[in-house]
Amino acid sequence: MKQEGNRPLKIIAGADSFGSTLKDALVAHLRSLNIDVEDLGTDTYYSIGAEIGRRVSSAADSPETETRGLVACGTGVGVSIFANKFPGVFAATCLTIGEAENTRSINNCNVLAVSGISTSPESGVEILDTWLKTPFKSPCPASDAKPWPVEIQSFLGNSINEMSKIGPDTKKQPTSCAICSLASNREFVPVDIMPGGSMKIVRESPTSAVVRFKAGSVEPSHHHTFGHDLVVLKGKKKVWNITKGEDYELNVGDYLYTPAGDRHRVKYFEDTEFFIRWDGDWDIFLDEDLAAAHSAVDKDLGCGSDGK
């Protein structure tokens, strides 16, 4: 199927368990239209939303293919939140045909998010078809089904470039600083998907950071696009490299390298601080939830839920 600029269309699809049935029906419909579909299957809503957002973002400038995303969860909201964390991704939750028309016309939406709870497969197909066929800046319910005025069309056209700039951190470290003090003026930002953790990025690309975790914290199994080196500055932790079937106890001064893609889980026995450097830009993809991580850690350590 040809799209804007006569580029062939590719759809990357995925869902959580609440959206998988609807996703499967929509993937089957896309394939019946001879559209290239890459189905990533089922994962947590935050992991699958982030993965599809990352891939659509990475392919945004491809001259050969127009890549869009299709994500589904219970409400369609959670997956869109995490897809939208990546530059150039314009994900929108659509429960009606009108919403699909509006978001394509106004926002040039390139990731469609749908609700596995509220939307039947039949309605989902209608929403998907509308989203596929509606061009950017075309008449839609928001324009009363009439062409947009010239000034609005101009605004919409300019908005795509401006919106794409929102999100990336453009701050640069001072080039005159050969040795910077990491001990002063630290502003640690909580790592939302890792309770008990906070991070201070000291270099953007490749990413270097100082990270803190509170005693008793657990990092669920996760992986990164790039490998990373770390050195423990304070405290004590244990790392399970699930991919390799190995584990490591780390104390102050210990070093560990974790290769790209290796799934690993971490337990912090004390308030811990470490320096970490990725081989590229920092990202994170969860492979299990926090409850499963605590259960696995407790089983390995032979202790109860209080870690004793």
pLDDT digits (tens, 9 = 90+) for 8-45: 999 999 999 999 999 999 999 999 999 999 999 999 99
CA–CA distances in Å: residue 116 to residues 102, 103, 198, 294: 21, 19, 34, 29
Whether the CA torsion 166, 66, 94, 155 is positive or negative: it is positive
**pLDDT band for position 206 (50/70/90)?**
confident
Residue 195 preceded by cis peptide, ω within 30: no
- The pLDDT of residue 68: 96
Place of tokens 């919106």: 163
Question: Is 70 in contact with 128 (CB distance < 8 Å)?
Answer: yes
- The pLDDT of residue 160: 79
Give the whole-angstrom CA distance, residue 218 versus residue 120. Answer: 38
The yes-or-no verdict on residue 305 having pLDDT over 60 is no
Q: In the predicted model, what is the mean pLDDT of residues 189-213?
A: 88
CA quadruple 204, 206, 208, 211: dihedral, nearest 10:
90
Task: Give the pair of three-digit tokens for residue 140.
Answer: 């839609």
Q: Is 40 exposed, middle or buried, given 0-12, 13-18 or 19+ CB atoms closer than 10 A? A: middle
